Amino acid sequence: MTAACQVKTLIIGGGLSGLAVAHALTKQGAAFELIEARARLGGRIMTERQGTASFDMGPAWFWPGQPRIAALIARLGLTRFDQYADGALVFEDARGQVQQGRGFSSMQGSWRLQGGLSALTDALTHALPPEAVRLNSPASGIAKTPNGVRVTLAGGAQIDADRAVLALPPRLAAGITFVPELPAATVRSLQSVPTWMAGQAKAVAVYDTPFWRTAGLSGDAMSQCGPMVEIHDASPAIGGPFALFGFIGVPPEHRRDETVLRHHILAQLGRLFGAKGAEPTALFVKDWAFDPYTAVEADHAPLRAHPTYGPPPTFGDVWGNSVLFAGTEVAPEFGGYLEGALEAAEAVLQQLAAH
């Protein structure tokens, strides 16, 4: 198939990092194209909506001391609010026995975004030229050419570019066919970088009233019984509907049956918060471990601590910097966080400006 005419910069991946690069290039008047494997933009930022409320199924928080995301939210005219933290924490031991008053909200001091974090990615998207964005377009191959790179999409279409920005998790980048092949050490480095939260699953239970608040509870719960190991209030800043969300601690191989998982989630909410907890108006579940554009098999292994992220030294200069790496996992200071996605985008933009 004949390749399209050459674009200056091809961004592969429409998560926060890729969108930040595209947004900056748009403001500069620079030519680019952005391709995204999914039918939507946002990557691991994904928001479900119920009534007038928005609920984050991926990342939900950002914090003081993260200047890039604070500045971006201000520039886009978006509104942050404090994570709800008033009231007592609920604790469930390994036998399913529940105690209240074992502490207070562990996420006090964190911020959330009005409208969910998709309000951020939507605002970035709306500023892009529509003709520069392709959805449902996973990259399957990248070949070196005399003038840069040729990227082949899963459907067979090809795009020529001066440079390609891989704004996706390193383990997904390792699954792309490179011609000529990348050095074995580089491939091993890509495969060794854990994708942050990729093995995680999240549940959001939606209610008409915040009954836990009137009972003096923050909505926070810690559980040794499960399936959710950590629960927090996920309600909007103003009005309802209201919600509780939980991180699911059951290993991926034991949560493949979503019907069974949902049954256990509702039973746990009933134990922790009473009969009303077991009767949400909606229950959303997102299992990132089985999202092929987020996780690979290696990401199913549990992370016991926050990985040390940053550009692995073996990345080096890929084809004269014709291939650049973005995404939160290559950010040296805030790797894994939303701030890290913007940090990585900032570094790529500096590299693009230098060549």
Mean pLDDT of 260-279: 98
Segment 6-43, tens digit of pLDDT:
899 999 999 999 999 999 999 999 999 999 999 999 99
Is a pLDDT exceeding 50 seen at residue 1? no
Which pLDDT value is given to residue 5? 67
In a domain, 258, yes or no: yes
| pLDDT (0 to 100) of residue 102 | 65
**Rounded Cα distance, 314 and 258, in Å:** 40
Residues 15 and 111 occupy one common structural domain: no
How do residues 189-211 score in pLDDT, each as one tens digit?
A: 999 999 999 999 999 999 999 99
Confidence band for 103, pLDDT divided at 50, 70 and 90: low
Residue 298 lies in a domain: no
Both structure tokens of 202: 């999240």
| Same structural domain, 111 and 86 | yes
- In a shared domain, residues 63 and 203: yes
pLDDT at 101: 77
Query: What does the pLDDT average to over 109-136?
Result: 97
What's the domain range around 99? 47-116+199-293
Q: pLDDT averaged over the chain?
A: 94
Residue 147 lies in a domain: yes
The answer as to whether 299 is a domain residue is no
What's the pLDDT at 105? 74
What string of DSSP letters covers 108-146?
TT-EEETT-THHHHHHHHHTS-GGGEESS--EEEEEEET
Question: If you search the block for the tokens 């290993």, which residue do you land on?
Answer: 251
Work out the average pLDDT over 150-171: 96
User: Does the pLDDT of residue 4 top 80, yes or no?
Assistant: no
pLDDT value at 320 more than 90: no
User: What's the CA gap between 253 and 261, in Å, rounded?
Assistant: 12
Residue 218 has pLDDT above 80, yes or no: yes
Measured between alpha carbons, how far is 198 from 204 in angstroms, rounded to an integer? 17
The pLDDT > 70 percentage for the chain reads 97
Does 300 map to a domain? no
Query: What is the number of other CB atoms lying within 10 angstroms of the CB of residue 258?
Result: 13
Mean pLDDT along residues 218-242: 96
Using CA atoms, how far residue 191 sits from 250, 324, 326, in Å, is 24, 16, 15
For residues 22 and 62, membership in a common domain is answered with: no
- Residue 104 pLDDT level (bands cut at 50, 70, 90): low
Whole-angstrom distance between the N-terminal and C-terminal Cα of the chain?
A: 29
pLDDT of residue 355: 74
Look up the CATH number of the domain holding residue 269. Answer: 3.90.660.10
Both 87 and 227 in one domain: the answer is yes
Answer whether residue 241 shows pLDDT above 50.
Answer: yes
> Is residue 95 domain-shared with residue 226, that is, in the same domain?
yes
pLDDT digits (tens, 9 = 90+) for 227-238: 999 999 999 999
- What pLDDT does residue 317 have? 75
Say how far residue 12 (Cα) sits from the centre of its chain: 15
Which of 293, 321, 341 is the last residue before a domain boundary?
293
What CATH number does residue 181 fall under?
A: 3.50.50.60
Q: Check whether residue 137 and residue 110 sit in a common domain.
A: no
Looking at the predicted structure, is the pLDDT value of residue 75 above 60? yes
- Helices 118-126 & 16-28, crossing angle to 10 degrees? 30
Low-confidence winner among 104-118, 148-162, 308-322 (lowest mean pLDDT)? 308-322
Domain membership flag for residue 203 = yes
